[in-house]
Amino acid sequence: MSTELSEAAAPPPAGTGESSPAPSRRTFIATSAAVGGAVVASGTFLASPEEATAAGSAPSSRVSLTVNGTRRTVTVDNRTSLLDLLREHLGLTGSKKGCNAGACGACTVLVDGHRVNSCLTLAVRLEGAEVTTVEGLAEGDRLHPLQQAFIDEDAFQCGYCTPGQIVSGVGCIQEGHTNSPEEIREWMSGNICRCGCYVKIVRAVEQTAGRK
Amino acid sequence: MHPFAYTRVSDTREALGAGRRGGRYIAGGTTLVDLMRETVERPETLVDISGLPLREVTATERGGLRIGALVRMAEAAAHPKVRALYPVISQALELSASAQLRNMATIGGNIMQRTRCTYFRDVTADCNKREPGSGCAALHGHNRSHAILGASDHCVATHPSDVAVAFAALEATVHLLGPDGERRVPFAGFLLRPGSTPNREQALQTGELIQAVEIPAHPRPLKSGYLKVRDRQSYEFALTSAAVALHLRGGVIREARVAAGGVGTVPWKLPAVEKHLVGERPSEALWAAAAAKAADGARPLQHNRFKVDLLSRTVERQLRIVGGTR
């Protein structure tokens, strides 16, 4: 595979996205988020020296969107996916990067109320959009009924796919595709669980839908 | 992913201007962003057309249906008129991809989507579609999922769309808008067989924009449906598929529209099957005899010989599902 000059000027860390900052910054964000949510919630775009270089060498755009009820205005490299914006810039690491190709569903979020793969969504295209991630489902300390159902039904093992499963399940319930276990399975097929917890995932979605 | 400039357009004139200057249109982006990340696609400028007024499903004066290019797959599938008039379209859409992808991807983008051939997606492999003249690694490689119809020595990749198979069966028309105005292309002529130029996939000129796909009026009642056979029960591309639409009157098949997916380099219309059905009464023998013609002219590769029988059986089963027996 050929490497372009521009990519070399802004080397992404191995194993993460093309717009991901260096590992040191990941650690920094995680620490900040853990210590004081204010850093994350402020909406300030934190640029590391590496990123400042990246922004200077590759076309970037300014975009304003609402994430979990909070208005955010950020300047991003045009290549940045919504998933990377959430995880790397906004510190919302609930949405997971599984395949980064729209094949696993771990990155599922709601955009304007519809479930989508955030890994295939370019952040620059989201001007004015309303994004809801797994972090935005609970009301204060009260979990979303589907989150509670995942706990009650023990609907996960390793947990990596769980945020995507839950957000996708919320979308599935809103769409009304929950009339039978078979229908839930079909309409949840965009979310892969390598641990194989499908039986309990279907049960959690079914029970939550039934309570509505 | 290579860097690219990004521009959002708010009307078609602006879009066509950007398209003429070499900009690449992006709608749902589910294929394009994925392929850009693999550096298979390397557009210099993305022109975001999602704000254009091409999001309506409307009935045509002649009794057909016009589906705007920017209607999402999920919206098109659930549209009451689509469900009522052409179940084959709704079924093909809902058997495609995942709920998330169907919320993103559009009708125009769906018929523009590129092949899932693994060699096309691997920039280290030879692929005439991606790098003209480099060769075809699939021809003598892992070609289990590849085409048995419409292939050439230059390319054996299948077209991945399901709804395009329904459009082909129903003899849809693609409405295009370009610098020189509007034009309409029959669906059969819109997607191109590879021949010696597999890099050219659609009959589109530079900067042309898909406005809509129009389904012509068909005699009613029209029974129709889509059957998809694949390695997984859901969220997988077709090994074979069949779109069937039948109009029966007085117990006799008056019109038949049949096409197959997963087997051709483009959605594969089956005129020999259609011809065999018209004027006949539904029966098990009729379905079998008609479906036996489905794989006429098939040229299987080393690993996809099974598709020849699978295609006939898929068509036969779907004829039975749509047409019933006796």
Q: What is the CATH number of the domain that holds A20?
A: 3.10.20.30
Q: Is A64 on the interface with B (CB under 8 A)?
A: no
A1 to chain B, minimum CA–CA distance in Å?
A: 6
Q: Is the confidence at residue A33, as pLDDT, over 90?
A: no
Together in a domain, A118 and A35 = yes
Q: Is A127 on the interface with B (CB under 8 A)?
A: yes
In this structure, what CATH number is given to the domain that contains residue B255? 3.30.390.50
pLDDT attached to residue A14? 41
Q: Which phi and psi (to 5°) does residue B5 adopt?
A: -85, 150
pTM: 0.90
Average pLDDT on B137-149 reads 98
Confidence of residue A53 (pLDDT cuts 50, 70, 90): very low
Domain count, chain A: 2
Per the domain annotation, does A105 fall within a domain? no
Query: Does A79 contact B103 at a Cβ distance shorter than 8 Å?
Result: no
Q: Which of B113, B239, B233 is nearest to B167 (CA)?
A: B113
Above pLDDT 70, what percent of chain A? 73
B260 to chain A, minimum CA–CA distance in Å?
A: 23
- Minimum Cα–Cα distance from B27: chain A residue: A125
Per the domain annotation, does B137 fall within a domain? no
Query: Does B123 contact A1 at a Cβ distance shorter than 8 Å?
Result: yes
pLDDT attached to residue B325? 79
Q: Is A78 on the interface with B (CB under 8 A)?
A: yes
Together in a domain, A81 and A151 = no
DSSP 8-class letter at A134: G
Q: Is A189 on the interface with B (CB under 8 A)?
A: yes
Together in a domain, A24 and A60 = yes
Domain count, chain B: 2
Per the domain annotation, does B164 fall within a domain? no
Confidence of residue A212 (pLDDT cuts 50, 70, 90): low
In this structure, what CATH number is given to the domain that contains residue B18? 3.30.43.10
What pLDDT digit, counting tens, does each position of B13-33 carry?
999 999 999 999 999 999 999
Together in a domain, A14 and A88 = yes
Query: Does B33 contact A125 at a Cβ distance shorter than 8 Å?
Result: no
Q: Is A122 on the interface with B (CB under 8 A)?
A: yes
Average pLDDT on A14-21 reads 44
Alpha carbon separation from B294 to A23, B195, B257 (Å, rounded):
56, 22, 13
Query: Does B6 contact A122 at a Cβ distance shorter than 8 Å?
Result: yes
User: In whole angstroms, what is the distance from residue B309 CA to residue B54 CA?
Assistant: 41
Q: Which of B6, B97, B124 sits opposite A78 (nearest CB)?
A: B6
Query: Does A117 contact B235 at a Cβ distance shorter than 8 Å?
Result: no
Per the domain annotation, does B162 fall within a domain? no
Together in a domain, A38 and A123 = yes
Q: Is A123 on the interface with B (CB under 8 A)?
A: no
Per the domain annotation, does A137 fall within a domain? no
Residue type, A163: P
Per the domain annotation, does B62 fall within a domain? no
Q: Is the confidence at residue A140, as pLDDT, over 60?
A: yes
Q: In terms of pLDDT, which residue wins out, A34 or A209?
A: A209
Residues from chain B that touch A122, judged by Cβ atoms under 8 A, are: 6, 26, 29, 33, 46
pLDDT attached to residue A40? 36
A129 to chain B, minimum CA–CA distance in Å?
A: 13
- Minimum Cα–Cα distance from B100: chain A residue: A116
- Minimum Cα–Cα distance from A167: chain B residue: B100
Q: Is the confidence at residue B75, as pLDDT, over 60?
A: yes
Together in a domain, A150 and A64 = no
B37 to chain A, minimum CA–CA distance in Å?
A: 8
Average pLDDT on A107-130 reads 98
Per the domain annotation, does A102 fall within a domain? no
Together in a domain, A18 and A121 = yes
Rg for chain B, CA atoms, rounded: 19
Per the domain annotation, does B107 fall within a domain? no
Per the domain annotation, does A153 fall within a domain? yes
Per the domain annotation, does A122 fall within a domain? yes
User: In whole angstroms, what is the distance from residue A112 CA to residue A174 CA?
Assistant: 13
Q: Which of B3, B123, B235 sits opposite A79 (nearest CB)?
A: B3
Query: Does B104 contact A117 at a Cβ distance shorter than 8 Å?
Result: yes
Confidence of residue A211 (pLDDT cuts 50, 70, 90): confident
Above pLDDT 90, what percent of chain B? 99
Residues in chain A: 212
- Three-state SS string over B232-279 comes to CCCCCCCCEEEEEEEEEECCEEEEEEEEEECCECCCEECHHHHHHHCC
Together in a domain, A176 and A202 = yes
Give the DSSP letter string of B43-92.
Answer: -SEEEE-TTSS---EEE-TTS-EEEETT-BHHHHHH-HHHHHH-HHHHHH
The range of the structural domain enclosing residue A64 comes to 5-97+114-132
Q: What share of chain B is helix, strand, coil (3-state, %, to 5)?
A: 30, 25, 50
Q: Which of A61, A66, A164, A151 is nearest to A107 (CA)?
A: A164
Per the domain annotation, does A120 fall within a domain? yes
The range of the structural domain enclosing residue B28 comes to 5-51
Beta sheet of B240-249, edge-to-edge order: B223-229, B240-249, B252-261, B268-269
Residues from chain B that touch A58, judged by Cβ atoms under 8 A, are: 3
Number of Cβ pairs closer than 8 Å across A and B?
98
pLDDT attached to residue A71? 98
pLDDT attached to residue A182? 98
User: In whole angstroms, what is the distance from residue B149 CA to residue B291 CA?
Assistant: 16
Together in a domain, A119 and A170 = no
Residues from chain A that touch B123, judged by Cβ atoms under 8 A, are: 1-2
pLDDT attached to residue A49? 41
Per the domain annotation, does A128 fall within a domain? yes
What pLDDT digit, counting tens, does each position of B33-48 carry?
999 999 999 999 999 9
Q: Is the confidence at residue A23, as pLDDT, over 70?
A: no
What pLDDT digit, counting tens, does each position of B191-200 carry?
999 999 999 9
Domain boundary, last residue among B36, B51, B66:
B51
Per the domain annotation, does A104 fall within a domain? no
Mean pLDDT of chain A: 82
Q: Which of A192, A15, A188, A184 is nearest to A103 (CA)?
A: A192
- Minimum Cα–Cα distance from B28: chain A residue: A121
Residues from chain A that touch B97, judged by Cβ atoms under 8 A, are: 190
Q: In terms of pLDDT, which residue wins out, B99 or A36?
A: B99
What pLDDT digit, counting tens, does each position of A63-74 carry?
999 999 999 999
Confidence of residue A104 (pLDDT cuts 50, 70, 90): very high
Together in a domain, A120 and A178 = no
Q: Is the confidence at residue B277, as pLDDT, over 50?
A: yes
Q: Is the confidence at residue B73, as pLDDT, over 80?
A: yes
In this structure, what CATH number is given to the domain that contains residue A174? 1.10.150.120
Confidence of residue B97 (pLDDT cuts 50, 70, 90): very high
- The distance from CA B191 to its chain's CA centroid, rounded to whole angstroms, is 8
Task: Report chain B's terminal Cα–Cα distance, integer Å.
Answer: 57
Per the domain annotation, does B274 fall within a domain? yes
Q: Which of A78, A116, A186 sits opposite B4 (nearest CB)?
A: A78
Per the domain annotation, does B80 fall within a domain? no
Q: Which of A123, A17, A115 is nearest to A76 (CA)?
A: A123
Complex confidence, ipTM: 0.96
Exposure pattern of A185-204 as b/e (b: 16+ CB <10 Å)? bbbbbbbbbeeebbebbbbb
Q: Is the confidence at residue B240, as pLDDT, over 70?
A: yes
Q: Is the confidence at residue A158, as pLDDT, over 50?
A: yes
pLDDT attached to residue A2? 36
pLDDT attached to residue A56? 55
Per the domain annotation, does B66 fall within a domain? no
- The distance from CA B231 to its chain's CA centroid, rounded to whole angstroms, is 19
